[in-house]
Amino acid sequence: MRPHRTSQQALPRIRLNPERDFTDRTEHTRPASRSQHGHDRGQKTKPAKQFYFTVDCDWIPGSHVGLESLLKSCDRAGIKATIFFAGRFAEAYPDLVRACFERGHQLGTHGWAHGSLEEDEDFRIASYEQQRQWIRRATDAVEKAAGVRPVVFRAPNLWIGETTLQVLEEEGYRCDSSVPALRFDMGLGRVHYAKYFWAPRNPYRPSRRNLNHIGDSSVLEVPPSSCLFPMNLAMLRTLGFRRFQRLIEWIGRRSRHLVFYCHPSEFVFADNQCFPQSMSKWNQKGMGPANLSLIEDLLDYALATGYTATQMMDATADRLDLRSPIVLRTNEFPSDRTYREEGPQ
């Protein structure tokens, strides 16, 4: 793995052996006892660790070059990503959107013109009609480009609200990845509100009244991973790989789900792209093809440490909310059909 320079910024106190090499997977465990029939006793199989590699394609002219490079890195690692497209990106580069689908990546939407606006699309406060228009236009653009209707969504800047969930349900979406659980950027990034700070970190079906709570929505929420600091390329670029690795291990001790995201614009020099004036100069600093090496190291690390590459539609809620009664109405189930359970697993 290629070495990376790291910054000296302070991190949360995390107990970890910094000398441990992630390529050493040996674990010393006591042999499980066996019954007289040869079955293992007293040993439970741990659920697989899920790694969701996701890409947010903002509408930034010139950033498509970065997506083309990123697809090659995914091919090399054998990773199938979930790629969220702003509608105008899909409209401008339909062949690239179609290529993503043909290579086995899952397609989603990411607002309509997010990335190029001075005043960005804010799904926290926009009206129901406005949100429906943004989502419908983006959905149609991706479907027209790839020939498949997207059913996964990520709100621009992770700015989401209960109205968004209502629109997603009505438009047939099955999965969202927008709730910024355990994240607050302290003025440095775009998540500068703490409304959903204590939302569940693992996949769950949210309440329609409050996204902080587990409910019975038809949309599965898969929150982007965070430990105050977001698990994204901007933070990886800032901390360097070794320190970022510690954050991953901190999350891994608390959850089997790791949701990481990056942007195609981060793999293209800023001078070769068109950003709005409101775009942070700090965020533009350090953009370029060299960041592909960070992504390749991350992919190698995730696979080497036992994570399984997973797409959003393959996620399942970890548990049912037993605080609410579950009511089955038998007259809704015809006797001549067999139904496969599609609720939380």
Cα–Cα distances (Å) from 343 to 38, 39, 217, 319, 329, in that order, read 35, 31, 10, 10, 16
Residues 220 and 259 sit within 8 Å (Cβ to Cβ): no
pLDDT over threshold 70, residue 37: no
Assigned domain for 26 exists: no
* pLDDT tens column, 93-106: 999 999 999 999 99
Burial label, 63 (beta-carbon count in 10 A; 0-12, 13-18, 19+): buried
* pLDDT tens column, 225-246: 999 889 999 999 999 999 999 9
Assigned domain for 17 exists: no
Assigned domain for 76 exists: yes
Supply angle C-alpha 264, 303, 288, rounded to 5. Answer: 25
Q: Average of pLDDT values for 119-147?
A: 96
Higher-confidence residue of 332 and 111: namely 111
Q: In a 3-state reduction of DSSP, which class is residue 306?
A: coil
Assigned domain for 22 exists: no
Give one DSSP letter per residue of 147-192, joined into a string. Answer: SS---EE--GGG---HHHHHHHHHTT--EE----TTB--TTSSS--
Assigned domain for 38 exists: no
Q: Count of CB atoms within 10 A of residue 252's CB?
A: 16
Query: Percent of the chain at pLDDT above 90?
Result: 67
Q: In a 3-state reduction of DSSP, which class is residue 312?
A: helix
* pLDDT tens column, 279-316: 777 778 889 999 999 999 999 999 999 999 999 999 88
Higher-confidence residue of 13 and 105: namely 105
Query: Percent of the chain at pLDDT above 70?
Result: 78
Residues 192 and 168 sit within 8 Å (Cβ to Cβ): no
pTM reported for the whole predicted model: 0.79
Q: Quote the CA–CA distance of 290 and 294 in Å, as a whole number.
A: 8
Assigned domain for 4 exists: no
Residues 60 and 275 sit within 8 Å (Cβ to Cβ): yes
Based on the structure, what is the number of domains in the chain?
Answer: 1
CB proximity list for 141: less than 8 A, separation 6 or greater: 85, 87, 88, 90, 91
Assigned domain for 328 exists: yes
Cα–Cα distances (Å) from 161 to 211, 214, 223, 301, in that order, read 7, 15, 13, 34
SS (H, E, C) 233-301: HHHHHHHCHHHHHHHHHHHHCCCCEEEEEECHHHHCCHHHCCCCCCCCHHHHCCCCCCHHHHHHHHHHH
What is the CATH classification number for the domain harbouring 70? 3.20.20.370
Domain residue limits at 83: 47-332
Q: Quote the CA–CA distance of 299 and 105 in Å, as a whole number.
A: 15
